[in-house]
Structure 1
C-alpha cells in the first residue's frame, strides 16, 4: 500500500497526453520482444504506447485480424464500435475505422460522437441480432477498462455480444502478430469518410425500463448520486436522470484524459476502479449527501456502491445482496434459472443460493463463461468478485452479455426504494443469517516458469489434507459449474477456501482467500496457501 493511496493526484502523477499520442503513432513494436506482442487477456489487448505495447501498428494488425476472423466465421453484418475516454481510445478507434472501411466492413459509430460504454456496445449487438436480420452483427470496444490513463485497450465482441472466447482471441492475436512481423503489408487502410451512425445512448437508456423498476425509484424520492469517474457513462447518467425523472446528480461530469481529479489507488497510481476505497476516496467524501451513491470505471462495465451507513461496499457483499434481491423480486424469471459466480467470488453467494433453492453455477475467472446462460435464460445473474456483473431483463430475456456497471448501480437504488433499506443494511442481515466472512486477495512471487506450472496445476498434485486446522473437502483445478480449467487451483474446507492463479502481467501469483472464522483464521489460510502452492510448484 502506497503512503499516498487515497490522496489527490499531483502534477507529477499526470500523463503528457500529447507525448502519449505521439508515441502511439511513432513507436513501432518488435514482436520478437514478448512485451511488444499482441496479447489478449480476459478483456482484450491492453498496454501503454510509451512501452510500445499499444501503438498504431498493433491496432492496424488487430483490426485486420478481426476482419479476417469474422469473414472466416461467416459474419457479414454490421460491426458496432465504441470507445471510452482514455487518451489512446480516440486515435485507436480512428485507426480501426480506417482498416474496417478499407475492408468494406459495414461499421457503425456513435451518432453524436459520444463515448460509448462497454454495455452499450453489447446491447447494440444483441438488439440488431434479435431483430430478424439475415446477417449477424459483432463489435469492438476500445477501452482498457479501469487501467491507468497511459493505457489503451482493444477488445472484440462476437455476435453473442459478450467477450470473445479464447479460441477467437488466440487466433486474432496470432494473426495480428504475423501481420506486424510481415511489415503490415497485408493490412488495408482507407480514409474513413462514410460510416453509419447509431444512437447508442438513446437506445440503451430507453430500454432500461425493461430491466430496472424506475417507477419504484421515482416514487420513493430517494436522492441518488452517480459518479462516472471521468468515464464513458457521463452523458448516459444525465440521460437516465432526464428520461426517468429521478432525483439524481451526476457528481462529477468532468472528463479529463489525465484524470487529474482522481485520488490515487492503493499502489499510488491513477486507476479508475470504483471498487477501490483509495480510488473512490473523493467520492466517499460525499456519501452522506445521497441515499445511494455509485461509481463506474472508464467503460462502465464495473460498479461501486456507496451507502451513508456503510460507505463503499465490498464487491462480494453487494453481489450477494443483489442476488438475494433479484431472485425474490423478478417473478418472470425461470424457476430453474441458476446463479452464476466466478470461482474466486465469496462463498456467501453459495449460502444465499442455497437459501433461495437455486442452483449455483461456478465458473473460472472471465465473464465470457456466463454468455450462453444469459442468452438462453438458464443463468439469470452472472457476477465476478472484481465488481463486474449483468443480469436478465424483468421478463427473463437477455439484456447484455458483457458486464454492465450502469444497471448494477441503478439496481442499488431500486433495492433501496423497494425494501426501504440500503444494500449495506441488507448485507448485515445476510451475515446475521449465514455468518460474516472475511475476504482478501494477496500476491506472492513466482517466476514465469512457476506461473506456467501453476496455470496447469492439477488439484490432485496438492498433498495437504488440512487447511488452517480444517479438513480439505475439495481440491479443484476445474470449475464445478462447467468443468472448465480454472488456470490454477482452489482448495476448500467447511469454513474457508483459497484459490491461486498466476498473474497475466507480473511475476506473481494471486491468492484469493476467504474465511467465515475471522481475520486471524484468514491469515492462517493465506500463510498455508502459500506453503501449499509453493510445495506443489517445487519452490
Structure 2
C-alpha cells in the first residue's frame, strides 16, 4: 500500500462525515492516484489568515476532520476555562464546522458560544472584543472565495486577527493533535441570538447626520450582510436601501455571479441595473461575509465604480473631520495609495503603513496612538470616531454607513463624491492606482516569477527609471519580513508584487501620482495613459525577462 493510500485509510477511520467518507472511499476503490495526491500530497497550512481551501476529504481540503484538528490545536493555546465566541457564514458546511469547533473546545475545558444563525464577520470580531472574559473568536468563512471553498479565521481577545508568533504556536499545536475520533467532545453550549450588541455600537458612532431622502441600492451578493446592514441603516435614520432581489438571500452557490467578490468584473451589474431604474444616489455592495464594501456613484450619465483607494481616501477625510486630537492615527498597507499620508499630514495626524492584511493594520502605531481609521485597497475599511475604530478588523457594514453619511453631506452641499475626489486631487495631486492579478494553476509559477524578479529586477518600468528596489523578504522600514517586492520609480510611481495570501494569484499593485494644473480631466487622462504603460511593462516583467527600456 502506498503512503498516500495508508494516509487515506487512516483518515477514513476517524472521519465523522459520511459525505467525505464516501468521496474518499470512491477515490480509493477507483484507484484515482491524482485525486489522492491532490488531497493527501499536501495539507492546508494554518497561518495568520487561519485556514482556507476547497471543500473535500483529506488534509489539503476543508472538512470536519481539518476543522476539528484546528479547534483542538487552538484549544491547547488558550487558557483553561476561557470563553470563545464562534460565528459562521452561510457557505456549505459552515454551521457544521462551527458546531464541531464548539464541541472540541468544550471537550477541552473551554467555554464556547455559537451564534444561532449566520452572521457577518465584523459582528463576530466585535463580539470577541466586547467582553473581558473572551479569550478568542472563530469565524467560519471563506469570505469572497468561490462557492467550493470554506475557511476558518481566528481572532484573539482584542478582536483582531492573529499574527506571528501566535499563528505558528497554533499550527504546531494542530500538528500534535492525534485522531479526532479520540478527542473528548462537549455536547451543549450557549447560543447567541442576533447582532444587537454590534448594531448598538454602530448606532453610537459619530459618522455625521443621516439623510432619509438618500436613495441607496444595496446587494449582499448572496451573503449574510443584508439583514444587519438594513438594521444599521434604519437605526442611523436612513431610508431602507433597495436590495437586489436575486441576491438578497444567503445562497452558498452564489448563482448570479462568477465570483462572489465585488471587485470582480460583472459582480455589481445587477445592482447597477436596479440603481439606474430607480435613479439612485448610491450603490453599495458587501462581499458574502460583509467585511468588505464596494461603492458606485452616478457619473457622466452612467455609473462610476470607485476603487478601494478612492473610497479609502474619502472615508479618511470624513473620519478626520469628525474626530479631534493630536494622538489620532490612520493606517493603511504598503500596497495601498500613498494619498492617505498626504491627507493625514493636512489634518495634522500620524499615518503609518503596514504589511498587507488587516491583522497588521490593527497592530499599527504606538501604544499612545489612537487608531481612528484603517483601510486596505481591497475594499476593506475600519471606521471609528473619537473612541477609536469600532471593529479591530475590516467592517463592510460601518463602512457602508459612513459612505452613506458622506454622500448625504455632499448632497446637502450640492456636490457629489466624484467632486470630493477632484478636490483631493487638486490639493494632494492625482493618485491613480490599479491592480494586475495573475491566477495560476501551479503555485510553482508564482515562485518562479518572484525568483526571476529578485535575481534580475527590471531597471525601467512604464518609461520610468527604477530608482530603488526593495526585497520585502528582508524586512524593510521596520516591517516584518514578507514575500514581496517593491519598486520605486522616478517621479511619483510605485509597484509592489506579492503572492496572494488566500488565492493562487500573483498580485501587482501599481500607483502613479501626477500634479493637477488646471483641468482635472486632462490630468486623469495623462495618469490613465501612464498607468496603462506601467501595467503593460509589469505584465511583461512577471511573465518573462524584465524590460530594460521604456
Q: Which string of whole-angstrom CA distances, capped at 9 and with x for unpartnered residues, describes residues 272-314 of structure 1?
A: 2123341121111122333222111121111111223343211
* Structure 2 residue 201 is the aligned partner of structure 1 residue 207: yes
Q: Which string of whole-angstrom CA distances, capped at 9 and with x for unpartnered residues, describes residues 379-412 of structure 1?
A: 32211111112032x2233411111000111111
Report the counterpart of residue 94 of structure 2 in structure 1. Answer: 89
Report the counterpart of residue 424 of structure 2 in structure 1. Answer: 430
Report the counterpart of residue 493 of structure 2 in structure 1. Answer: 496
Matched residues in 2 for 1:535 and 1:353: separation? 39
Report the counterpart of residue 15 of structure 1 in structure 2. Answer: none
Matches within 5 A, 1:341-420: 341-373=332-364, 377-392=369-384, 394-420=385-411
Structure 2 residue ranges without an equivalent (≥5)? 1-16, 25-34, 514-525
Matches within 5 A, 1:73-84: 76-84=81-89
Matched residues in 2 for 1:244 and 1:463: separation? 51
Q: Which string of whole-angstrom CA distances, capped at 9 and with x for unpartnered residues, describes residues 226-247 of structure 1?
A: 3222222222123224434421
Report the counterpart of residue 144 of structure 1 in structure 2. Answer: 142
Report the counterpart of residue 126 of structure 1 in structure 2. Answer: 129
Report the counterpart of residue 7 of structure 2 in structure 1. Answer: none
Greater RCO (Cα-Cα under 8 Å, separation 6 or more): 1
Report the counterpart of residue 115 of structure 1 in structure 2. Answer: 118
Report the counterpart of residue 282 of structure 1 in structure 2. Answer: 270
Q: 1:428 to 1:88 in 2, by over 3 A?
A: farther
Matches within 5 A, 1:135-534: 135-179=133-177, 182-184=178-180, 187-191=183-187, 193=188, 195-213=189-207, 216-218=209-211, 221-249=213-241, 251=243, 252=245, 253-260=248-255, 262-264=256-258, 271-288=259-276, 289=278, 290-309=280-299, 310-331=303-324, 334-373=325-364, 377-392=369-384, 394-420=385-411, 421-433=415-427, 434-435=429-430, 437-443=432-438, 448=443, 451-452=446-447, 464-478=458-472, 482-493=478-489, 494-504=491-501, 509-516=506-513, 517-529=526-538
Q: Which string of whole-angstrom CA distances, capped at 9 and with x for unpartnered residues, describes residues 95-119 of structure 1?
A: 1122122223111222xx2211111
Query: What is the TM-score with the length of structure 1 in the denominator?
Result: 0.81
RMSD: 3.2
Report the counterpart of residue 40 of structure 1 in structure 2. Answer: 46
For these two proteins, the number of residue pairs brought into alignment is 489
Q: 1:422 to 1:409 in 2, by over 3 A?
A: farther
Matched residues in 2 for 1:49 and 1:348: separation? 40
Q: Secondary structure at the match of 1:425?
A: helix
Matched residues in 2 for 1:70 and 1:455: separation? 37
1:77 to partner: Cα distance? 2.9
Q: Which string of whole-angstrom CA distances, capped at 9 and with x for unpartnered residues, describes residues 240-279 of structure 1?
A: 244344211350432222222x232xxxxxx221233411
Contact 1:302 1:389 in 2 (8 A): yes
Matched residues in 2 for 1:107 and 1:151: separation? 25
Q: 1:435 to 1:30 in 2, by over 3 A?
A: same
Contact 1:263 1:278 in 2 (8 A): yes
* Structure 2 residue 59 is the aligned partner of structure 1 residue 59: no
Query: What is the TM-score with the length of structure 2 in the denominator?
Result: 0.80
Q: Secondary structure at the match of 1:138?
A: strand
Report the counterpart of residue 14 of structure 2 in structure 1. Answer: none
1:212 to partner: Cα distance? 4.3
Greater CA radius of gyration, 1 or 2?
2
Q: 1:376 to 1:31 in 2, by over 3 A?
A: farther
Q: 1:225 to 1:446 in 2, by over 3 A?
A: closer
Matched residues in 2 for 1:404 and 1:51: separation? 32
Q: Secondary structure at the match of 2:102?
A: helix
Q: Secondary structure at the match of 1:426?
A: helix
Matched residues in 1 for 2:81 and 2:448: separation? 40
Q: 1:95 to 1:376 in 2, by over 3 A?
A: farther
Contact 2:410 2:417 in 1 (8 A): no
Q: Secondary structure at the match of 1:487?
A: coil
Q: Which moved more, 1:473-482 or 1:430-439?
A: 473-482
Q: 1:377 to 1:122 in 2, by over 3 A?
A: farther
Matched residues in 2 for 1:535 and 1:120: separation? 47
Contact 1:376 1:397 in 2 (8 A): no
Q: Secondary structure at the match of 1:325?
A: helix
Contact 2:81 2:109 in 1 (8 A): no
Q: Which moved more, 1:473-482 or 1:201-210?
A: 473-482
Matched residues in 2 for 1:339 and 1:176: separation? 36
Matched residues in 2 for 1:60 and 1:89: separation? 13
Contact 1:287 1:307 in 2 (8 A): no
Q: Secondary structure at the match of 2:78?
A: helix
Matched residues in 2 for 1:354 and 1:238: separation? 35
